[in-house]
């Protein structure tokens, strides 16, 4: 008796015009490798094995038909394709974290204290408003905001979570790159109405540049071209960055701002952008206790989502 033929399998078609990227595990591994630079550190972050992470990266590269990393001694360097992919999938991860946070909020009340460290500018203009919303959501949660322009040592528990403008070098610190901003020169519209927009560092004698006092800050890394012919004269000198900001925003002078902060300050306009500026990476860092503390994870995920959205919104990523 003839056996009936088995039904033909239903074909699965990839979307026309490109590969299918529907396996989130591959993308999670890619993000971890992109942000840590090594398979070992990526595996540690994800709680898996190095071979698994390596296999995920190879599968993703095979699906895309593109190399995502250049294999160098001791590290993996992202290609241009990797930079472009990360810019898209990092936002996806932020959405996943936000979804996880919503479910976590519904089933637990968070208690305890989380210490967050940030620079003077970011603590005041960025982090404090974000943390205020967290405290409104979780009445039993407490937050200590450490405001300092020095780098707190996370492994010594000077802070639980920190926002930094450089990638941490300590191996055990958990860190993720949440976006980029830039340091630039800004002036208030009242200043520009009085003095006009400058095309060089030769500012009017009656104008001032708000700069540092006792601190020694080299200006050469901020110059995109030749340095000014003469030293920049700081007519208002203070090491308090917020005091410099207050002076600039009166319309009397010029000062250096992070572009994402300046975008929120009324009346400010960037000047001499082709001559002065320095890219700044923004990193969210934490003590390894993050893996075991629900309160720390809550604050971390909230900060990551908010910072990614902020930096993307101002077009600085």
Looking at per-residue confidence, does 262 or 43 come out higher? 262
Q: pLDDT digits over 180-225, tens only?
A: 999 888 999 998 998 888 877 776 655 656 655 455 555 666 666 6
Average pLDDT over residues 14-30: 65
Its pTM stands at: 0.64
What is the rounded CA–CA span in Å between residue 154 and residue 170? 9
Close Cβ partners of 162 (under 8 Å, ≥ 6 residues apart): 116, 117, 118, 151, 152, 154, 284, 285, 286
Q: pLDDT digits over 245-255, tens only?
A: 888 898 878 88
What is the rounded CA–CA span in Å between residue 307 and residue 286? 15
What is the rounded CA–CA span in Å between residue 54 and residue 51? 5
Give the whole-number percent of the chain exceeding pLDDT 90.
21
Query: Taking 90 as the threshold, does the pLDDT of residue 131 lie above it?
Result: yes
The answer to whether 157 and 286 have CB atoms below 8 angstroms apart is: no
For residues 7-34, one letter each, b for 16 or more C-beta atoms within 10 angstroms of the residue's C-beta and e for the rest, the string is: eeeeeeeeeeeeeebeeeebbbbbbbbb
- Parse the chain into domains and list their residue ranges: 19-107, 182-279
Query: Looking at 2-6, 77-81, 232-236, which range is the least confident one?
Result: 2-6
pLDDT score recorded for residue 199 = 79
pLDDT score recorded for residue 16 = 38
pLDDT score recorded for residue 8 = 39
Q: What element of type H or E holds 253?
A: strand 253-258
pLDDT score recorded for residue 290 = 77
The answer as to CATH 1.10.10.10 being correct for domain 19-107 is yes
What DSSP string runs through 62-95?
A: HHHTS--EEEETTEEEE-HHHHHHHHHHHHHHHH
Average pLDDT over residues 59-73: 88
What is the rounded CA–CA span in Å between residue 220 and residue 228? 10
Where does the pLDDT of residue 18 fall: very low under 50, low under 70, confident under 90, or very high at 90 and above? very low
Close Cβ partners of 149 (under 8 Å, ≥ 6 residues apart): 119, 120, 241
Looking at per-residue confidence, does 296 or 16 come out higher? 296
Residue 30 token pair: 């890619």
CATH architecture under which domain 182-279 falls = 3-Layer(aba) Sandwich (3.40)
């Amino acid at each position: 008796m003839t056996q009936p033929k088995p039904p033909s399998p239903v074909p699965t078609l990839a979307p026309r015009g490109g590969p299918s990227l529907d396996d989130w595990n591959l993308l999670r591994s890619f993000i971890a490798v992109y942000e840590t630079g090594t398979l070992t550190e990526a595996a540690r972050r994800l709680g898996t094995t190095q071979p698994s992470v390596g296999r995920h990266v190879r599968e993703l590269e095979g699906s895309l038909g593109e190399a995502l990393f250049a294999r160098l001694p001791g590290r993996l360097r992202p290609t241009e394709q990797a930079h472009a992919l990360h810019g898209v999938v990092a936002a996806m991860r932020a959405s996943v974290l936000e979804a996880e946070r919503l479910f976590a909020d519904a089933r637990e009340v968070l208690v305890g204290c989380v210490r967050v460290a940030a620079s003077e500018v970011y603590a005041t203009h960025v982090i404090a408003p974000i943390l205020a919303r967290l405290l409104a959501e979780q009445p039993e949660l407490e937050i200590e905001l450490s405001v300092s322009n020095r780098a707190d040592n996370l492994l010594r528990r000077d802070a639980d979570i920190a926002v930094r403008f450089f990638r941490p070098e300590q191996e055990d610190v958990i860190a993720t790159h949440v976006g980029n901003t830039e340091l630039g020169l800004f002036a208030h519209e009242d200043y520009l109405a009085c003095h006009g927009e400058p095309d060089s560092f030769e500012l009017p004698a009656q104008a001032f540049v708000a700069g540092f006092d006792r601190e020694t800050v080299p200006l050469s890394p901020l110059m995109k071209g030749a340095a000014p012919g003469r030293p920049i004269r700081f007519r208002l000198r203070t090491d308090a960055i917020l005091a410099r900001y207050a002076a600039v925003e009166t319309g009397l002078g010029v000062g250096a701002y992070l572009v994402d902060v300046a975008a929120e300050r009324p009346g400010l306009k960037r000047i001499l952008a082709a001559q002065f500026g320095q890219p700044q990476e923004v990193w969210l860092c934490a003590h390894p206790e993050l893996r075991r503390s629900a309160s720390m994870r809550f604050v971390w995920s909230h900060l990551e989502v908010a910072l990614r959205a902020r930096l993307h919104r101002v077009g600085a990523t």
